[in-house]
Structures are given as C-alpha cells and as structure tokens.
Amino acid sequence: MVGFALRRRLSHALARRVPAPWRARLLSLRPSQDRRSRGKLLDETAVFYPTSWRRPLVVVVQAPGEEHQDQGVLYMLQQSGWPVAFVWHDGHTHRGHISGTSGGRHNPNFPANSSTNLTGIAASTIPEAVVAPLGVVMCISQKDEALAESVASQLGYLHLAITSTKLEKDPAALLATLFPKVSILLPVHNQKLVTSLCLASLYAFTDYPNWEVVAVDNGSTDGTFALLAQWVKEQKNFRLIKNESNRGFPAACNQAARAATGEILCVLNNDTVVTPGWLSCLVDELLRSPGVGLVGPVSNGVANEAQVHCPVRSLEELPLWSMARQKRYFRRTRTMSVLALFCAATWKSVWDSLGGLDEDFGPGLFEDDDFSFRLREKDLTLCCRLDAYVHHFQGSSFGHMENEAYLKLFERNRKLFWTKLRQRRRQR
C-alpha cells in the first residue's frame, strides 16, 4: 500500500509538470513490480494508452480589444483537437491567451476550454511555454496580416495567409493540408505482438495532422498480415503491401517509399512504441533547418549518442515520462555522425536523390550507417531531437537468428560497408 500511494503521488506531481492545457488528463499509474522481464512487459497488450488529442497550436493574431466574430470556426477547430490561442501586440511584446480545446469528444473527464494566460511573454517563447513545436498563425482581419506573418516568423510556425473568418466549413482539414504529408514506412516480418503495440501507440500518440502509414509485410507467417489487414479496414490512412517472402529491411523500406505519397518519409521499426509529440518534433526540425538531411529521436534501445536511460517500469508510464522530458528538452538537438533507422525522417526528395537504402545489405545491418554516410557526403546534417522519444525493443528484428548466423551477417555487412565507402571516396 505504501508503494502504491507513493507511485500515485509521484504520477500526479509529474503530471503537473506537463503544461499544455489541451493534453488529456493522464490516468494514475498502477504500481508494478520492481523487476519485469521484456516478455512480461510485452504481454500487457491491454495497456491503456492515455488519449493524446492535441494538434499543432493555432495562434489567432488580433489587434488590442478586437474580438473574434465567428466563434463557430474556432469551435470546430477545438472539437477536432486543435488548441487555439489568441495573441495581440501591446506595443512592446506579444501577449496571449490559450483557449485550448473542447475535450468532451475525447475525454469527458478533462475540463473543456481550459485556459492559461501568457501575460507579458515574448512571442518567441510561446512554443516552449506550451510545449508546441508546430503551429499555425492566422489573423482575424486583413489589416493584421503583416503582424501575423511577423508572429509566425518569431514562433517558427506556419503562416496561413487568409483570415480565420474565411476558413471553409471544415477548417481542421484545411489546416492539416498546410503541413507537409508524412509517409511512415513500416517494414514488418512476423512479431505480431510488438507490431500490435507499435500500431496502437502510433494511432494514439501521433498528433501530427497529415500522415499515412505504408506497411510492407515481408512474408509473415504468425498472423501478422491478418493484423495489418484489420488496421487497413479501420484506418483510412493505412496502406499495406504484401510480399510472399522476406525481402529484407532495406528492400521493404524502398518498396514502401516508392508507394508513399508524402513529402517526408519516416522509417519506423515495428518493434517500437512512440510517445506524444514524437512526429511533430521530427517534422519541426526538418521545416526549420533546411540543412538537415535526416533527423531521429532519442531512445532506450540504440547503440549511439541518441541512447538515453528510460526509468519507467511499464508501458503505461511511458507517455507521462516522455511528455515531461519533452518540456525539459524542447527543440534541443544533437548533431550525429550516424542515425539508426529504427526511427528517422527525411525529405522524400533527399531519399530519392540517394536512391533509398542499399539493398546489397540484404536483411539489414549497416544499411543505416551507409545511408548516413551518403547523406553527409551530400553536405547534409544528421541530428537527433532530444525532445522526441521512441521506445525501442532493440534486438527483436534479429532475435530469431542464431548467434553464429548473426555474427556472420554482421561481419559480411561490415566489410561491405567499408568497401563501398572506400570506393566512393576514391571516386570523389
């Protein structure tokens, strides 16, 4: 009982550190055993994912004393999960008010239209204050257009060049099209359980408004294809490609990339669990940093500088911890020499210019090193967003292989990587 009470108080204390007023109220954490094997952790398929119903922040610029006349547009946005903020200029700084969202459709226990005053705050600090890396700035009247453009530049947000009163009947759909479409490339071979966890987290916590999933089933034999087919029926933005045999990770990624319709490609392993805000952080980096060719999150399961310690003992604790971490490391990055492709995003034009992943690496291993080096040879930067966290059950992809077979593949691909690297350097 003491442990339960302590964990409950700790969860409430951490929840108060998550400032975004439109986030769903997180459930109190159930106490769990101090030690838990990975198998037992994965068996918790009934874990409740706290609903993340935030969308990028909509900032409405208005003159002092000016009020919005068409509350219906804002109400429709809020009903769709878009938090709304009002910002005005007082002569020295931009001041604002966060109206939030109307949360009844997603979580009846969360107070609708909760608000926070941003009094005397510089406009450039608003995204960090509410932990919103992405947003849209619009104005009420045409005379405030220049001011709205200035605010968008300061915040690092997109600018909608029409007034909020001229939005169509479905303003949420219009705003979503402002953001470049992201195609999530999901190669899958067996691992039905982890795939189920990955997809559940993906649709619970991806707050980015314009995305699709292109899954490639590499000849699964454990019922994974049936699971993916069910997701196709339930989600309009889910597409599935079936291979009769396992073509390997690089080939499956290239296959998904060719079928993708997005401007941005995000490779995602099926042995991952994403957390709130993960994709928005990655896209934010690509939008604000033109020299970045590839961006990835931090994770518990990666063998480079992107690895961080994850102290949680169950998956239901993960969203709360990651949201508190996102506040602490908001928009902070680390330059990388190599990014692992368990989760990484790049522009489709960049992917195509490099010819995608090198399929000579067969099932995988060192294809991410090769892709990273080829990006750097194009004078593009690789970076890790410290405020984006993706949990990775490292080793699941090759866990079925015998040690001898794995070491043989590792050594073969290691030599291949260095051979290709030396050949490219001699040709430069």
Do 240 and 169 sit in the same domain of this protein?
no
Q: Which residue has the tokens 């990014």?
A: 339
pLDDT at 6 over 70: no
Other CB atoms closer than 10 Å to residue 25's CB: what's the count? Answer: 14
35 belongs to a structural domain? no
Give CA angle at 231 (228, 236), nearest 5°. 130
Final residue of a domain: which of 177, 203, 238?
Answer: 177
Do 137 and 243 sit in the same domain of this protein?
no
Give me the phi and psi of 386, to 5 degrees please. -75, -15
Question: With contact defined as beta carbons under 8 Å apart, do 308 and 378 qualify?
Answer: no
Final residue of a domain: which of 144, 177, 210?
Answer: 177
52 belongs to a structural domain? no
64 belongs to a structural domain? yes
CA separation for the pair 82, 164 (Å, rounded): 14
223 belongs to a structural domain? yes
145 belongs to a structural domain? yes
CA separation for the pair 208, 398 (Å, rounded): 31
CA separation for the pair 356, 63 (Å, rounded): 49
The pLDDT > 90 percentage for the chain reads: 38
Segment 290-326, tens digit of pLDDT: 999 999 999 998 888 999 998 888 888 888 888 888 8
24 belongs to a structural domain? no
The domain that holds 81 is classified in CATH as 3.40.50
Do 66 and 118 sit in the same domain of this protein?
yes
Which H, E and C letters describe the chain, residue by residue? CHHHHHHHHHHHHHHCCCCCCCCCCCCCCCCCCCCCCHHHHHCCCCCCCCCCCCCCEEEEECCCCCCCCCHHHHHHHHHCCCCEEEEEECCCCEEEEEEECCHHHCCCCCCCCCCEEECCCCHHHHHHHHCCCCEEEEECCHHHHHHHHHHHHHHCCEEEEEEHHHCCCCHHHHHHHHCCCEEEEEEECCCHHHHHHHHHHHHHHCCCCCEEEEEEEECCCCCHHHHHHHHHHHCCCEEEEEECCCCCHHHHHHHHHHHCCCCEEEEECCCEEECCCHHHHHHHHHHHCCCEEEEEEEECCCCCCCECCCCCCCHHHHHHHHHHHHHHCCCCEEEECCCCCCEEEEEHHHHHHHCCCCHHHCCCCCHHHHHHHHHHHCCCEEEEEEEEEEEECCCCCCCCCCHHHHHHHHHHHHHHHHHHHHHHHHHC
Q: Closest by alpha carbon to 191, among 227, 141, 152, 149?
A: 227
The domain that holds 300 is classified in CATH as 3.90.550.10
Structurally, the chain folds into a number of domains equal to 2
Which has the minimum average pLDDT: 300-309, 344-353, 380-389? 300-309
Do 252 and 342 sit in the same domain of this protein?
yes
Q: Tell me the whole-structure pTM to 2 decimals.
A: 0.81
Question: With contact defined as beta carbons under 8 Å apart, do 55 and 82 qualify?
Answer: yes
So what's the pLDDT on residue 37? 37
Do 309 and 405 sit in the same domain of this protein?
yes
6 burial level (CB within 10 Å; 0-12, 13-18, 19+): exposed
Q: What is the mean pLDDT of the chain?
A: 78
Phi-psi group of 211: left, alpha or beta (phi > 0 → left; psi -120 to 50 → alpha; rest → beta): beta
157 belongs to a structural domain? yes
Top-confidence residue, 396 or 298: 298
CA separation for the pair 274, 135 (Å, rounded): 21
79 belongs to a structural domain? yes
Segment 103-140, tens digit of pLDDT: 333 333 333 334 444 444 566 777 887 788 999 988 87
Average pLDDT over residues 270-286: 94
Do 397 and 282 sit in the same domain of this protein?
yes
Do 257 and 151 sit in the same domain of this protein?
no
Do 153 and 227 sit in the same domain of this protein?
no
CA separation for the pair 31, 314 (Å, rounded): 9
Do 227 and 335 sit in the same domain of this protein?
yes
Do 213 and 348 sit in the same domain of this protein?
yes
The pLDDT > 70 percentage for the chain reads: 73
Predicted confidence band of residue 230 (pLDDT cuts 50, 70, 90): very high
Top-confidence residue, 245 or 95: 245
Do 167 and 268 sit in the same domain of this protein?
no
Domain that holds residue 283: 180-427
Do 168 and 220 sit in the same domain of this protein?
no
Final residue of a domain: which of 145, 177, 209?
Answer: 177
Question: With contact defined as beta carbons under 8 Å apart, do 383 and 335 qualify?
Answer: yes
